[in-house]
Amino acid sequence: MGFSLSSKITLLLLLVLLCFLNINICLGARKLNSRYQPPPMLLTYHNGNLLEGTLPVSILWYGKFTPSQKSIVADFFLSLSTSKKQRGLLSSKTPSVSQWWKNIQTYMKKAEKKETQIVLSKQISDEKCSLGKTLSKSQISELTQKVNSEPGSITLVLTAQDVAVEGFCMSNCGFHGSNKKKDSAFIWVGNSVTQCPGQCAWPFHQPIYGPQSSPLGAPNGDVGLDGMVVNIASLLAGTVTNPFGNGYFQGSAGAPLEASSACPGIYGTGAYPGYAGKLLVDTATGASYNAQGANGSKYLLPAVFDPSTSSCSTMV
């Protein structure tokens, strides 16, 4: 059956209209897709107690550490302070360790808590390893009792390179826990230089898995201790903002993403898996760092999740 001229014109107009509508439908879908942004990651405050105000930190050195190794860690804690008494020890150069710590104060402010002022308290050595050189997680908690820290404090247990701890290298490089009765917390970090530097001292050692790149120079010339500082800093941020499991975190309370663990492997701008990001380099030693501290010290510190911008904040 044939079509009249008017019918053909009508059909043609309908086809053009359908094509026009299809184009707009497709363009509309593309436009919606281009506007879509994945929801930002949020660290929710679960209304629990945080470690606010003056916060004493005691250190238990378990195993043999040299005086220079101890000073690397001690200077890091001194560098966190913003008190007038210790300000003379701090570096006036930027970026600084104390600036890094201001990220944590953002969490305290949002929760309407006092700013947290770190004070380095007592240091105790257990060179003979009184509980042996193979420790369970429960023994780490037992070791904290040797320090007899005051309520509302943190005890830091650091184990030497020849001490094995349950889960070390296999599932973690350190952890934090608490004693709710004393309203206090503890952190454990191990020296991984002879056990698993590719896991717990990256980026100062080539990674065991993933993209392979040349390791960075350790800012204090000690792969093991500089790696420990990275883990101490990350766990300190998590401990202060989530000491009892009901502070700031995302995900499961049993395996939470915390202030720093939410930004793994990020140290400078442009970081991606296998690349720590753009960092400062010491022209004398070739070492990489992103923060300066007390007594001329330099450190590489992990990024901290900024709750005000919902992004990982780096020093450089």
pLDDT at 16 over 60: no
What would the DSSP string read from start to end of 198-248?
HHHSTTSS--SSSS--PPPBPTTS-HHHHHHHHHHHHHHHHHHHSTTSSSE
User: Domain residue spans in the chain?
Assistant: 51-311
Q: Residue 24 in 3-state DSSP?
A: helix
Nearest CA-CA partner of 279 in 288, 266, 291: 288
pLDDT at 8 over 50: no
Higher pLDDT, 82 or 261: 261
The pTM for the full model equals 0.85
Nearest CA-CA partner of 229 in 106, 50, 78: 78
CB 219 within 8 A of CB 288: yes
DSSP state of 304: E
Query: Each residue of 25-81: pLDDT tens digit?
Result: 232 332 333 333 344 568 999 999 999 999 999 999 999 999 999 999 999 999 997
Q: Residue 55 in 3-state DSSP?
A: strand
What phi and psi, each to the nearest 5 degrees, are found at residue 73? -75, -45
The pLDDT of residue 186: 97
Kindly state the percentage of the chain with pLDDT values over 90: 73
- Interval 87-110 mean pLDDT: 83
Q: Return the number of other C-beta atoms located less than 10 Å from residue 275's C-beta.
A: 15
Q: What is the mean pLDDT of the chain?
A: 86
Pull the structure tokens for residue 167: 């889960």
Pull the structure tokens for residue 132: 């042996």
The single-letter code of the amino acid at 279 is L
Range list of β-strands (E), 266-310? 280-281, 288-289, 291-292, 298-299, 304-306
